Structure 1
């Protein structure tokens, strides 16, 4: 009997040893190298100095000419805005201008300035617009440009609003006469072959370095009256609006994503 008890104890000890050994193996720390990904490596891009263009950007205005821009109403005609002193300015009444190239998803940097002396108020105070995709005359998705430093207007039409859709998170406007900057990440809408919407456009924007639109989804193209809707389109030009005010621009570049 005693021998049988001793044998059973030995078997129990052996079993416990096996269990403890397995538990110890379960507690083994994972190897960090197992989760390291080495390829493919991201391409090397040299950032621009200050707000200068990165090495892989398409420069849409570098300070000398409007070669990258055409008339939005007549794309075969050159842009007829005023160029000088490293910037260009809306020639009131000449019409909107748009890029020669077409884009889908991209990052864009743009600097703008309203005149230091403005007589109007509300929407009549340095009004223009950056259309992230121009889908036809007067159409597209507009990021509002306007003097809103002490100038009151409707919140979904002030500077850095997605016009009549999304109010900016804050008012980051600099005083009239000072240069301001927009930095935008734009993802275009996607459609099926028969024109049904697959995914809406979305949009992140910084105004003077401050986040004002945080990955918001658009309800459709910007409209002055009524509800925004989508209509099928593919790659599209970027457009700047002639609203009659002498708004100036400089240092514009874009990085297709």
Structure 2
């Protein structure tokens, strides 16, 4: 059965959970989901724990949400893991966050590989510690031929910087004759972004009750459906993902039309 792994957890999930999963697959599923994973620090503070404990717990949530999204037929899952502004945080916290990709991929890469998940990354790798990027690069290499869900980490990513770099590249290509300015359109511009090859997100999820984009995929989210929740990321469950997708499926997307 498609959802055998979830059958083992019937005591911890709603009785109709599997039926809802099957129902979701019978309707258009968001092809690309983007998530701003917020609230790790507040989750830890509520429990009188160091902030890094929240980040560690949030790492576990990434695994289960990735597996479920893949089972549901989602094609891409982009996770805002570390922004270009997050370098302003205390050094001890930044250092820990830079170790998480190694720990996450070292622990879960075999399972992700068996689930046919393909790991990708957007962001500025040059500023990342070498050990951080090596872990991501290894995962990308080992999963490059997988054809299931694309697990896309936004790591040292900032949308304004991405857009500025795209404009610079377009100017260079226009001046060199590679690109005619008369042919520049939305499709051409999108091809200069880090998300080239990915469809724009259909659904954006942000946890922790914050209602803002925080410099995340500003171009790509132009017609995305937003779903905000007060749930802190370490408490985000498969049930919450199901709720978000069900609400998405009940919305009417007009893309500026009527």
Structure 1 length as normaliser, TM-score?
0.26
Structure 2 length as normaliser, TM-score?
0.26
Compare the two structures and name the one with the higher strand fraction: 1
Compare the two structures and name the one with the higher helix fraction: 2
